[in-house]
């Protein structure tokens, strides 16, 4: 309102002042050495009394050195979504300036961009969906937790083709399939390797939902999977198998 200078902007500020005053800091992340990216929402959401994802929230870019608020965005902001889509690596890759990296995001990889577009179109065309809901769902990923995305070359969609239903660059639990996850070379289409996420040598109970989460080494052919079936957890170490 102060930057706009108009009477209408000031009236709108005082109209929503009580709602703004009730906002609480919920999550944050470092964008760089000087800037924080902070998410504000209502106290009911912060205290988990309300879990409705459609609740209004705001994103603030704050300079810790100058103590200035650089920008404020709503969780339905097309401008923020455009920044997130075009500069995704700046939000989620802590090792962006390292010598060896294999970023696989919508801003640096055509195949990852296609996956995000399909996800966005699905929300837009869904019942009770639409453009605003798609923006809200995509911005719901922010702020991004540190180290929640893998930089492993074996998950680089420019190098390998695989079904992102079973494994992805985002390290979060997914449904565990009955068959090995196959990775094909993007250039030749040939099968290069596969990962067995199930319980080897044990019968599979199809009535129980099984989840598995992968953690890949940043560059070595090594991964750890944690599989959960009800209250049982199984940890597997996946290493390169050299045929002799």
Of residues 82 and 207, more confidently modeled? 82
Domains detected in the chain: 1-75 (3.10.450), 88-142 (no CATH), 153-239 (no CATH)
List the beta bridge partners of residue 235: 226
Confidence (pLDDT) at 190: 94
Separation CA 6–CA 110 (nearest Å): 43
Half-sphere exposure of 155 (CA within 13 A, CB side): 26
Residue 53, pLDDT above cutoff 70: no
Of residues 9 and 163, more confidently modeled? 163
All residues at 6 or more sequence positions from 70 whose CB lies less than 8 Å from its CB, including other chains: 35, 61, 62, 63
What DSSP assignment string belongs to 124-161?
A: HHSTT--HHHHHHHHHTTPSPPTT-B---GGG-TTTEE
The structure tokens listed for 175 are 């449904």
pTM for the complete prediction?
Answer: 0.76
59-89 pLDDT, tens digit per residue, is 999 999 999 999 999 999 999 999 998 888 8
Of residues 198 and 171, more confidently modeled? 171
Separation CA 163–CA 157 (nearest Å): 10
Q: Return mean pLDDT, the chain.
A: 84
Q: Exposed e or buried b for every residue in 27-63, given b needs 16+ CB within 10 A? A: bebebeeeebbbbbbbeebbeeeeeeeeeebbbbbbe
Confidence (pLDDT) at 162: 93
89-134 pLDDT, tens digit per residue, is 888 765 555 555 556 788 888 888 888 899 899 999 988 888 999 9
């Amino acid at each position: 309102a102060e930057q706009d200078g108009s009477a209408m902007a000031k009236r709108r500020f005082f109209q929503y002042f009580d709602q703004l005053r009730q906002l609480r800091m919920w999550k944050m992340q470092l964008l760089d050495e000087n800037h924080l990216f902070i998410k504000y929402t209502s106290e009911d959401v912060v205290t988990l009394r309300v879990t409705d994802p459609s609740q209004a929230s705001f994103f603030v870019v704050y300079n810790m050195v100058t103590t200035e608020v650089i920008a404020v965005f709503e969780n339905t902001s097309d401008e923020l979504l455009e920044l997130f889509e075009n500069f995704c690596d700046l939000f989620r890759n802590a090792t962006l300036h390292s010598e060896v990296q294999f970023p696989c995001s919508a801003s640096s990889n055509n195949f990852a961009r296609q996956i995000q577009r399909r996800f966005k179109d699905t929300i837009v065309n869904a019942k009770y969906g639409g453009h605003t809901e798609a923006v809200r769902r995509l911005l719901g990923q922010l702020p991004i937790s540190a180290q929640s995305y893998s930089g492993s070359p074996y998950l680089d969609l420019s190098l390998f083709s695989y079904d992102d239903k079973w494994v992805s660059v985002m390290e979060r639990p997914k449904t565990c399939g009955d068959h090995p996850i196959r990775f094909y070379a993007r250039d030749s289409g040939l099968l290069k390797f596969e990962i067995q996420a199930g319980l080897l040598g044990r019968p599979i109970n199809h009535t129980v939902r099984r989840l598995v989460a992968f953690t890949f080494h940043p560059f070595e052919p090594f991964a750890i999977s944690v599989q959960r079936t009800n209250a049982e957890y199984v940890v597997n170490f996946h290493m390169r198998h050299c045929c002799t």
